Structure 1
């Protein structure tokens, strides 16, 4: 679990409620269920209409991923490739077959399987590079869905405010309640702008960064596996992959 991201979300909520309190407001003034339904429901609905089903579903998987354990250890990855190279030099490529089931990442399982099957470096690179690019593009489209929701949320907030004002104007016979009614109406605007700028847009940006980081990590692993297929020395492989450590800084 990414505690930094969760702390960031909580801090954003605290900033809004804290600022309202410092202005003399009360927490209950920012609580409005109809406004929340309009903003959340409308935002999700608009994104669902705009996005293909697969992209929409992927967006929510990426949302969970962005708050999960997602840090990639480049040094550990290099160590893993070097250990595979040692096994291949001692037992042959078939010796790596036992390593396939230990991998939770489907990409690495496929890569090792191609290596065990004795595929040439060109074939391994062609197959896995296409898989890398395809996966990156799918995930970036998922991030785009979340980003689009960040564009819809403020507009839905305005719609919620207008609906609230319509309700207020229909009760002009009770002038004492107009001020409170108008204040409540604009809570929807706060929800829309806050949801977009404090959550959806930052998360979309984080997902894009994570996708690019994973692409570079898997590209490093692919390069290492190709070196193994070429019969390179473990020390040479380690030195060649050191350049990827700068991307982990």
Structure 2
């Protein structure tokens, strides 16, 4: 929700600056410029990514407004309890909690533990599932960041088209001022849409995807330790050590590496 609020604040202050400067808000309105910039941008995006990716990008905005539920701290306590149950009654006893697990990623892990999947296969399967999920999460970020790259250039294109139309009417001097102003509206739309909407949305979606990927890596680490027969106390201590770390995008890959190192040390 804060991402949408941030976009509205940015646009709101720009409109306020126009009003306080004594200009009419209608000076920023141009249906032709909007069609050139937005239509050209989305056409380019569909050409590059296809309509399915465009739909996923729209859904990614919805996830910012209403993020999917995630409680990694709860999982840590659960996997510790599962470990104690498996150590005392065997891995087949985990079938009793399989039905009550709603998260598909965790349910897959439990099923593999019940099936006595080898540690190498477990790591391989989870690695593929995690990578696929992360790539899907990043599609929305890639689309909006690409849109942020197209809009300024298409805005300039719209301005040039507007100036061409003005130059064709030099015999009407009274129309030159409004015509030039309308032409440059396309540039405002292009630069504004890129820097106030598309690029910030892309970065925010990428950050959310990195955070979810980090949580998935903690889940993978938990199931690896569970498959190794580690005690619930050790699993809880191992996984909780990652909860105090920050979640910046740039550090995400590093945290994944630390998870792998921790698994090796725990073994």
Task: State the TM-score, normalized to the length of structure 1.
Answer: 0.87
- Match runs of 1:127-146 below 5 Å: 127-146=125-144
1:199 to 197, 200, 210: 197
User: Could you say if the C-alpha distance between residues 119 and 194 of structure 1 is closer, same or farther in structure 2, counting changes exceeding 3 Å?
Assistant: same
Q: What is the number of equivalent residue pairs in this alignment?
A: 247
User: Could you say if the C-alpha distance between residues 183 and 236 of structure 1 is closer, same or farther in structure 2, counting changes exceeding 3 Å?
Assistant: same
Does 1:33 find its partner at 2:31? Answer: yes
Could you list the runs of 5+ residues in structure 1 that have no partner in the other structure? none
- For 2:102 and 2:31, locate their aligned partners in 1 and report how far apart those are by CA, in whole Å: 42
Does 1:244 find its partner at 2:242? Answer: yes
- For 2:68 and 2:10, locate their aligned partners in 1 and report how far apart those are by CA, in whole Å: 22
Shift of 1:200: 1.0
CA RMSD of aligned residues (A): 2.4
1:66 to 36, 44, 64: 64
- For 2:140 and 2:178, locate their aligned partners in 1 and report how far apart those are by CA, in whole Å: 40
User: Could you say if the C-alpha distance between residues 81 and 147 of structure 1 is closer, same or farther in structure 2, counting changes exceeding 3 Å?
Assistant: same
- Match runs of 1:63-142 below 5 Å: 63-70=61-68, 72-89=70-87, 91-142=89-140
Query: Are the aligned partners of 1:150 and 1:197 in contact in 2 as well (CA < 8 Å)?
Result: yes
Query: Are the aligned partners of 1:39 and 1:160 in contact in 2 as well (CA < 8 Å)?
Result: yes
- For 1:10 and 1:99, locate their aligned partners in 2 and report how far apart those are by CA, in whole Å: 45
Residue 186 of structure 1: SS of its match in structure 2? Answer: helix
Shift of 1:103: 4.4
Query: Are the aligned partners of 1:74 and 1:244 in contact in 2 as well (CA < 8 Å)?
Result: no
Query: Are the aligned partners of 2:3 and 2:204 in contact in 1 as well (CA < 8 Å)?
Result: no
Moved more, 93-102 or 37-46: 93-102
Query: Are the aligned partners of 1:153 and 1:193 in contact in 2 as well (CA < 8 Å)?
Result: yes
Query: Are the aligned partners of 2:36 and 2:154 in contact in 1 as well (CA < 8 Å)?
Result: yes
Query: Are the aligned partners of 1:132 and 1:215 in contact in 2 as well (CA < 8 Å)?
Result: yes
Shift of 1:110: 1.7
Shift of 1:92: 3.7
Could you list the runs of 5+ residues in structure 2 that have no partner in the other structure? 248-267
Moved more, 34-43 or 51-60: 51-60
Task: State the TM-score, normalized to the length of structure 2.
Answer: 0.82
